[in-house]
Amino acid sequence: MEVGAVYEHRPGRTVTEADNTLFTTQTMNTQALHLDAAYSSTTTFGERLVNSMFTLSTLVGLSVGQLTQGTIVANLGFSEVSFPKPLFHGDTLYAETLISDKRESKSRPGEGVVTFTHTGRNQHGDIVALATRKTLVQMRPAEEGAS
């Protein structure tokens, strides 16, 4: 992983009403903005919003195949999470990730800390989610004979 590299994660994920309802009820989030179509029709948005935690989870999930499958040791934390625009039923979420920092672990030989800046966009290119995530990953073994 090189600092400054940007990965586009494809394909995207089209979010359905069933996705939103299942995730929202499984996580005990009773917010009417996610579940009550009649109520949501009276809000500024005019319809139900996709649960932002589903958006965040899917944003990160879209990156796994390219970035952390088989190498991650642990998620260390998230910071600077924001949702500039909502995601709605039927929208497609696309993800991209910037490698914003990396360093060797000070306490865990053979492992490093990588900082990802994840950006989620809808099918129109509007940013719907941003998140900075630190992860602990396995480092590539040093090549024999390298000095």
Q: Rounded to the nearest 5°, which phi and psi values hold at 51?
A: -55, 125
**Strands lying side by side in the sheet with 72-82:** 6-14, 92-104, 111-121, 127-138, 72-82
pLDDT of residue 144: 53
Look at residue 49 in the predicted model and tell me its pLDDT: 97
Question: pTM above 0.85?
Answer: yes
Select the CATH number that applies to the domain covering 6-16+50-138 from these four: 3.10.450.50, 3.40.120.10, 3.10.129.10, 3.40.50.300. Answer: 3.10.129.10
Provide the residue ranges of all domains of the chain, joining segments of one domain with +: 6-16+50-138
Residues of the chain with pLDDT below 50 are 145-147
